[in-house]
Amino acid sequence: KQSNRDSNNDDDAAAAKQRQLFWKQTYKSILLDVFGLFVFIPTLVCIKTIVWPTHVMSFSMEDFPTPSIQSATTLLSMGIIHEFGFYWTHRLMHMYPSLYKYHKVHHEYKQNNVLSAQHFHPIDFLISIALPAILTTEIVRPHGFAQLQFGLWLLTANFDDHLGYAFPWAAVRWFPWSAGTDAHEYHHSVNMGCYGSKLSLWDWVFGTDNVYNEWRKKRWSLVD
């Protein structure tokens, strides 16, 4: 009986510690989100607009991007270019210790939930999130409405990546080379491979999804 009581006390202590760690991590995520949304991102927008005004984005109705092949190719170009930029900035954050010390904040989550989607160190956000987005805008030079559409796509894809659930009906899986939520879940759990955002295209091109594909085959073979 004494040993059972000791075991129960140990379990209660372990559960209490897990709850404490959970709330500590949640509090940190909320602080990072608030700082990012209300301080860091507005500052970056001001710098881009005032200090580096190389592209004045149109918001005019005269050249409004109505549904057409041109608007579709604009969004497709933005998607492919952004994925390439994100793939390499993300991969570099893992390759070099001097960069990974910032990126490891995001990897404090070994299993994802929605709070991990914006759980970034500001330096990591600047390099791996803001830089690919800014370069994509500079190269494609979209209309303001197309930029809004693309921004909503990035937010949706990012939250889908970090939900911890893979919904088969999600629109982010309607495209060729669309990466499954489990690919990013795998990336967080083993800290390697699957560096793309929502397309597995560049991981396939550069062979950085091979280990993930082998893991996925083994997992499904156990299910079968």
Cα distance between the two ends of the chain:
43
Give the pLDDT confidence of 193-205 residue by residue, as tens digits: 999 988 899 999 9
Cα–Cα nearest to 36, from 114, 103, 129 = 129
Q: What is the mean pLDDT of the chain?
A: 86
Q: Out of 98-102, 149-153, 174-178, 205-209, which region has the weakest mean confidence (pLDDT)?
A: 174-178
Q: Considering the entire predicted model, what is its pTM?
A: 0.87
Give the pLDDT confidence of 80-104 residue by residue, as tens digits: 999 999 999 999 999 999 999 999 9
- Most confident among 180-184, 210-214, 215-219 (mean pLDDT): 210-214
Which amino acid, residue 91?
A: R
Instruction: Report d(CA 90, CA 66) in Å as an integer.
Output: 33
Q: Quick check: helix, strand or coil at residue 220?
A: helix
Q: What is the pLDDT of residue 63?
A: 75
Residue count of the chain, please give it: 224
The pLDDT of 175-193, averaged and rounded, is 86
Alpha-helical (H) ranges within the chain are: 2-35, 41-46, 69-95, 97-103, 122-124, 131-140, 144-161, 181-190, 201-206, 210-223
Burial class from Cβ neighbours inside 10 Å (0-12, 13-18, 19+) for residue 195 reads buried
In degrees and rounded to multiples of 5, residue 82 shows phi and psi of: -65, -45
Contact 189, 164 (CB under 8 A): no
